[in-house]
A = this chain, B = another copy of it.
Amino acid sequence: MKIIRQIRQMQKMALSLQRKGKTVGFVPTMGALHAGHLSLIRQARTDNDIVIVSIFVNPVQFGRGEDYKKYPRKLAQDSQLCKKAGVDFIFYPSPEAMYTKDYQTYVEVVQLSKPLCGRFRPGHFRAVATVVAKLFHIIQPHIAYFGLKDAQQALIVRKMAEDLNFPVRIKVLPTVREEGLLAISSRNDYLNARQREEAVILPQALLLAHTLIHRGERNASVVIGKMRRLIKRATSGKVQYISIVGAENLKEQKTIKGKVLIALSVWFGKTRLIDNILLCV
């Protein structure tokens, strides 16, 4: 396994792999790799000749006051995990090389970036789409892998690839969960012991919604109200949003119908956690 830091070197390597007819699977990450990332890497390893993982904590996608500086960086540990998982290349660029002094080009997936997390993180998804476009141009993957944990992100990347005719296939894999069903996330590391116990309320609220809908409830605000009360009653978590939206267009649903995404975001102290489930009603 090789770690490549220079954009030009990575792109040259990618183009030469392509000329040799190799298929390339790509897993873009911000590092601090966990079981969620490893499931993407395993799938990439199964599907392709070559597996490339990028590790880049993208400054542009963090808002003011967000956790860019404290976001965990663990290159040594990440390298070990990648090596063990059969990764061929880690691409590890610097922020200065990715965003030169007069950088000014952005990719925006307009409608899908507005709801859910987009309401609370202005510019976030524009920054995500932009960095993924850059990485696709550098890595030239045949298939790129994203986790359903960040459902809105996965949907935006897929729409971007489709709209801009990227010659890449987007595979979205299921959220990997701990024993208590808490979705695995690098940000779980920020939680103290009590918050960590309380955080299982996210999947529990989603399960509650699932049960209510399964029993016939179709009124979105009733379901959301019950989720909200469960979280408030049982924990110190502060709900940022709970939304029930169409799974393709992310449009708010009043009456639950078809393929829906139930997504929520909850603060525990200074840590913001998100989770979601897909349902077919």
Contacts and interface: CB of A to CB of B under 8 A. Distances in A.
A137 B167 contact: yes
Interface in A38-60: none
A166 interface: yes
A21 B15 CA distance: 10
Interface centre among A110, A133, A165, A249 (most CB of B within 10 A): A165
Nearest to A106: B108
How many identical chains are in the complex?
Answer: 2
Nearest to A113: B104
A100 B163 CA distance: 8
Interface in A77-111: 100, 102-111
Given A165-B134, A167-B11, A107 B109 contact: no
Contacts of A32: none
A30 interface: no
Interface string A232-250: 0000000000000000010
A129 B133 CA distance: 14
B163 A104 contact: yes
A193 interface: no
A149 to B, nearest CB: 23
A24 to B, nearest CB: 13
Contact of A107 (B7, B103, B107, B167): B107
B102 A249 contact: yes
Interface string A156-190: 00011011111100000000000000000000000
Given A19-B21, A21-B19, A103 B134 contact: no
A140 B140 CA distance: 11
A4 interface: no
Given A130-B164, A137-B164, A137-B166, 20 more contacts: A7-B165, A15-B167, A18-B18, A19-B19, A100-B162, A100-B163, A102-B111, A104-B110, A104-B112, A104-B159, A105-B107, A105-B110, A105-B164, A106-B110, A108-B108, A133-B164, A134-B163, A134-B165, A137-B165, A137-B167
A9 to B, nearest CB: 13
